[in-house]
Amino acid sequence: MRHYDLVLLGAGSGNMVLTAELAHLRTAIVEPDRFGGTCLNRGCIPSKMFVVTADAAEGAREAARLGVHAGVERVDWKAIRDRIFHRIDPLHDSAVDYRRANGIDVFTEPGRFIAPKVVLAGSEEITADTFVVSVGSRPTVPDIPGLDGVPYHTSDTVMRIDDLPASMAVIGGGFIAAEFGHVFSSFGTDLTIVQRGPRLLMAEDEQVSARFTELVSRRHRVLLDAAVTSVERRADGVALTVTCPGGDQVVEAETLLVCVGRRPNTDRLDAAAGGLALDEHGHIVTDDAYRTSVPGVWALGDAVNHFQLKHMANAESRVVQHNLLHPQDVKTLSNRVAPHAVFTSPQIASVGLTEQEARRRKIEYLVSVRDYADAAYGWALEDTTSFVKVLANPVDRTILGAHIIGPQAATLIQPLIQAMSLGQTADQVARDVLYIHPALTEAVEQALLDL
């Protein structure tokens, strides 16, 4: 049995804990798959490389609106796929080589706790004074009759398929349905989205979610309040039987994408055998400093939290790194403002309280909504559907939440995230800084001035 000072379980965000300050420790990394984890290999990075490509196709198709008569002659799926993964795939080998060259043992089989602070890495038992558990999450597969008998994709596989499908059915109506729906439909795939709830992107502010659902429904088939009751194989793909408010429908498609959420990988790690307390969703329970129920075992990322976002996992890895170095001065995540963006069309970005959440929690609020069309750049875009929405505290006028749907939403929201993080009031952000004219940020300025 080998003993280490530090063992990292999972080399996604956990790998970032290991900076030069910890180089003196005898360390092992257990990673059965690819260094970089979900984000680099099958998540944020490749999906956004596809999204940017899809934006180009969509831009060409829509240019006629502005009087530029372009079009999409051909989408070379294989060339796009290979361009993306030829950049990503070599990074794994170089990351492993780098770690090994620096004296770190890399185990390439899955780790599994067999007792508190004892892990079976493949067939070898290892122990450590300190563990950092960051084993991430994986796609949930719903229990639908027939699904296990048909070929289907999840986000893990759909970006590497050989040919662009003529048609695709998507089960789910969240982040991945929105982003991959944009990618495949922009490339010319005929899309049907089957969503259990009454709108797409149900977790967004209801006004944003309603606008997005309306816009997507104009472009392709969207079945809402829909339950897939069975799936069967057809000669040229799959057929889904879907129960909708209007009655049963059959959806036929060449390819099926399943994206109904993700679950933490703590079952495969046998976190319970390691003595780690889990919540009802299988997430590892930690305190605010990311200490688990076992002294010396820390945990972060998708295995821990409900955000399932890379910037949150990154922030947590920085906190854990600090805490390993400074056990007498542990930090917590100082800033609990957790923004996100959905890189779809139109883009969506959000931070803080939604209007429905404010009502549910009986929180008093001021709200303002400004259309992009009210700002000069919105005119230039000939935009008719995008808006900025801001919620503020009526007493101290701090910003409670912000929600944007439209071009560049993920970038436009950043000053509002900053204001919330720094406790600035809507008036300070609106009046104490200059907004570049005629940038789209003027829509943000106008929404703030309206409060």
Ligand X SMILES: Cc1cc2nc3c(=O)[nH]c(=O)nc-3n(C[C@H](O)[C@H](O)[C@H](O)COP(=O)(O)OP(=O)(O)OC[C@H]3O[C@@H](n4cnc5c(N)ncnc54)[C@H](O)[C@@H]3O)c2cc1C
Ligand Y SMILES: NC(=O)c1ccc[n+]([C@@H]2O[C@H](COP(=O)([O-])OP(=O)(O)OC[C@H]3O[C@@H](n4cnc5c(N)ncnc54)[C@H](O)[C@@H]3O)[C@@H](O)[C@H]2O)c1
- Binding region for ligand X (CB under 6 A): 9-14, 30-33, 37-39, 43-44, 47-48, 110-111, 134-137, 155, 176, 265, 268-269, 301-303, 308-311, 313, 343
SS3 of 336, please? coil
Q: Are 200 and 213 in contact (CB under 8 A)?
A: yes
Residue 173 or 237 with smaller CB distance to ligand Y: 173
Residue 116 or 146 with smaller CB distance to ligand Y: 146
Q: How far is the CB of 149 from ligand X (least distance, A)?
A: 24
Using CB distances below 5 to 8 A depending on partner kind, what does residue 392 bind out of ligand Y, ligand X, none? none
CA distance 133 to 273: 14
**CA nearest to 301, candidates 22, 39, 95:** 39
CA distance 184 to 190: 8
Pair of tokens at residue 31: 């990673």
The stretches of 63-167 forming alpha helices (DSSP H) are: 77-88, 90-101
Could you write out the DSSP letters of every residue in 245-268?
A: TTEEEEEEESEEEE-S-EEETTTT
Is 220 in the active site? no
Q: How far is the CB of 145 from ligand Y (least distance, A)?
A: 12
Q: How far is the CB of 191 from ligand Y (least distance, A)?
A: 15
Only segment of 96-104, 126-134, 189-197, 277-285 that touches ligand Y (CB under 6 A): 189-197
**CA nearest to 401, candidates 340, 446, 345:** 340
Position 340 contacts ligand Y (CB under 6 A) = yes
175 has binding-site annotation: yes
Residue 68 or 203 with smaller CB distance to ligand Y: 203
Q: How far is the CB of 344 from ligand X (least distance, A)?
A: 11
DSSP 63: G
Binding mask 293-332 for ligand Y (x = CB under 6 A): ---------------xx-----------------------
Residue 60 or 338 with smaller CB distance to ligand Y: 338
Position 202 contacts ligand Y (CB under 6 A) = yes
| Cβ neighbours for 40, distance < 8 A, ≥ 6 positions apart | 12, 34, 88, 91
Residue 134 or 354 with smaller CB distance to ligand X: 134
Q: Are 129 and 5 in contact (CB under 8 A)?
A: yes
Pair of tokens at residue 220: 């392709």
117 has binding-site annotation: no
Using CB distances below 5 to 8 A depending on partner kind, what does residue 172 bind out of ligand X, ligand Y, none? ligand Y
Q: Which residue has the tokens 């259990």?
A: 196
Cα Rg for the chain, rounded, in angstroms? 24
DSSP 306: S
Pair of tokens at residue 123: 């067939």
Q: How far is the CB of 212 from ligand Y (least distance, A)?
A: 12
**Which secondary structure element, helix H or strand E, spans residue 414, and what is its range?**
helix 414-422
Q: Exactly one of 11, 119, 133, 341 binds ligand Y (CB under 6 A); which one?
A: 341
406 has binding-site annotation: no
Residue 227 or 433 with smaller CB distance to ligand Y: 227
Q: How far is the CB of 247 from ligand Y (least distance, A)?
A: 17
Position 176 contacts ligand Y (CB under 6 A) = yes
111 has binding-site annotation: yes
Q: Are 89 and 221 in contact (CB under 8 A)?
A: no
| Cβ neighbours for 160, distance < 8 A, ≥ 6 positions apart | 81, 85
Residue 301 or 378 with smaller CB distance to ligand X: 301
Pair of tokens at residue 430: 């609106």
CA distance 92 to 209: 37
CA distance 224 to 196: 6
Of the candidates 3, 306, 326, 437, the residue annotated as catalytic is: 437
Using CB distances below 5 to 8 A depending on partner kind, what does residue 195 bind out of ligand X, ligand Y, none? ligand Y
Only segment of 93-101, 256-264, 355-363, 401-409 that touches ligand Y (CB under 6 A): 256-264
Q: Exactly one of 58, 179, 204, 316 binds ligand Y (CB under 6 A); which one?
A: 179
173 has binding-site annotation: yes
CA distance 40 to 16: 13
Q: How far is the CB of 169 from ligand Y (least distance, A)?
A: 11
Binding mask 346-385 for ligand Y (x = CB under 6 A): ----------------------------------------
Given the DSSP bridges, would you call strands 227-234 and 111-115 parallel, antiparallel or unpaired?
unpaired
Show which residues are catalytic.
437
Would you tell me which residues interact with ligand Y (CB under 6 A)?
Answer: 142, 171-177, 179, 194-197, 202, 228, 259-262, 308-309, 340-343
Residue ranges for the binding site for FAD? 48, 111, 302
